[in-house]
Chains A and B, each alone.
Chain A
Amino acid sequence: MEWLAERLAQAPGLENMLYFLAITLPLLSIILGFVTYAILAERKVIGYIQLRYGPNRVGGRFGLLQTVADVLKLLIKEDTRPKLADKPLYILAPIIAFVPSFAILVAIPITETLTFANMGVGLLYVIAVSGLSTIGMVTAGWASNNKYALMGGMRAVAQMISYEVPLIMSAVGVVLFAGSLNLTVIVEQQQFVPYILLQPIGFIVFFIAATAELNRTPFDLPEAESELIAGYHVEYSGFRWAMFMLSEYVYLFAMSALITVLFLGGWNPIIGLGFIPDVVWFALKFSIVVFVFMWIRATLPRLRADQLMEFGWKVLLPVAMFNIFFSAVLKELFF
């Protein structure tokens, strides 16, 4: 990946753009592969945790082709659109939901040389752009002109904005220690000590808020199957629905990568094990985070709406505020 760093140093132009496109398209296929097998892995992991088998028919003993078959089925499924729906917004909503989920990946450095955009405001970019997909959800809920969808969309917005505040605030501690918003610099700062050890409170708040931002159990109220059918995307079918599902899992990828970068030290090896390539380290830490997300999903029940909001504002936000101040004093005294 040396050529990518060289390309980044050259004057920008059409040629560079083509090179960037040549690295973005493989990344897109890796992401799509990840999503395909993350869905399968999720079903398998949850299955085994709940003493079931999970998918085990399509594609051998482990159901390896299950999601592929699902995607093909979605691709040839009829696309119905309710007559009362707002047509332009109904068509736009899945796109608005998906685009930011993929666009934030540009700022996340995988390894030292496999860095896409080396932006000075990397973390701010990720947080700002990831907030945009909320608009996609509420657009979908509103445009469908369906009561369940509107309720799901409204709940989604209320939840996303409530947990975005602690999410952003818990990351301030990391910025404070690193002295930079550039994610590459943040990773380099963690060469010896990952920030999970210096920022344990920040990490826990960030992780909980990330779970809520991803709309995953125990915070999956916007799409609570048993009360809202599916929430904001109840009127969607076929590939338009698949775009929502896709964006959810691309977000899972992005959030897990972001947690790896911010708190687990990115591609940095554990001291003494530097002979293992840095991509492997990144993948290892990343997989652990993804697994913990699945584990939480399989274990915890869903919260009630009032518990959800009150937990966000009355517990997480004060704790995150305290953490900022605590980290500042800690840094003042010891660093």
Chain B
Amino acid sequence: MESLNIYQNSYLFVIVFLFVALMLPIVALSVGRLLRPNQPTEQKMLTYESGMEPFQDARVQFHVRYYLFALLFVIFDVETVFLYPWAVAYEKLGVFALIEMLIFIVMLFLGLVYAWKKKVLKWR
């Protein structure tokens, strides 16, 4: 019973922390509204561009290299999802799981080598 209580209380604590973390910016910004001046002008509301007249929309098509890294990230992040349970249960699983995990890591490493050879990792 006690461990169940600790378990539930832990997540209650998480909710309390989230609540406090949400309230801080809300309270600070609401109090700040009473203190700060607010006189917007056309000039102030221009987009900042080092003194140049801003031109075009900033949201252009972005370079594809960012998406390639995002794809790589997904692959390796999912890999770690498999690594953590293995690491926790390692003592019970023993040598067989170790070899299995080695094969798994080597296969992913081959993927990394492939990406490397395909020059995905090159930041041009």
Interface residues of chain A, those whose CB is within 8 Å of chain B, are 7-12, 16-17, 20-21, 24-25, 28, 75-85, 94-95, 98-103, 105-106, 116-120, 124-125, 142, 144-150, 154, 157-158, 161-162, 164-165, 168-169, 172, 175-176, 179-181, 229, 234-235, 238-240, 242-243, 305-306, 308-310, 313-314, 317-318, 321, 324-325, 328-329, 331-332
Shortest CB distance B115–A (Å)? 8
Shortest CB distance A40–B (Å)? 20
Q: How far is the CA of A235 from the CA of B54 in the complex (A)?
A: 13
Contact with A along B16-35 (1 / 0, CB 8 A): 11111110111011011001
Shortest CB distance A85–B (Å)? 8
A-B contact pairs, 14 of them (CB 8 A): A8-B5, A8-B6, A10-B5, A17-B15, A25-B20, A28-B20, A82-B45, A82-B46, A82-B48, A105-B17, A144-B58, A161-B70, A181-B84, A321-B108
Chain A contacts of B58 at CB under 8 A? 144-147, 149-150
Are A313 and B17 neighbours in the complex by a CB distance under 8 Å?
Answer: no
Q: How far is the CA of A157 from the CA of B74 in the complex (A)?
A: 13
By secondary structure, the A interface counts as helix
Are A12 and B44 neighbours in the complex by a CB distance under 8 Å?
Answer: no
- From 1 to 60 in chain B, residues with beta carbon under 8 angstroms from any chain A beta carbon are 2, 5-22, 24-26, 28-29, 31-32, 35-40, 44-50, 54, 57-59
**A243-B25, A324-B83, A325-B102 given; A9·B5 CB < 8 A:** yes
Any A CB within 8 A of the CB of B114: no
Q: How far is the CA of A248 from the CA of B2 in the complex (A)?
A: 37
Q: How far is the CA of A17 from the CA of B15 in the complex (A)?
A: 9
Are A98 and B36 neighbours in the complex by a CB distance under 8 Å?
Answer: no
Shortest CB distance B102–A (Å)? 6
Q: How far is the CA of A278 from the CA of B82 in the complex (A)?
A: 35
Are B88 and A82 neighbours in the complex by a CB distance under 8 Å?
Answer: no
**A157-B66, A239-B28 given; A321·B105 CB < 8 A:** yes
B89 nearest CB neighbor, chain A only: A179
Chain B contacts of A308 at CB under 8 A? 123
Shortest CB distance B119–A (Å)? 11
Q: How far is the CA of A238 from the CA of B60 in the complex (A)?
A: 28
Contact with A along B80-124 (1 / 0, CB 8 A): 100110011011000100100110010011001000100001111
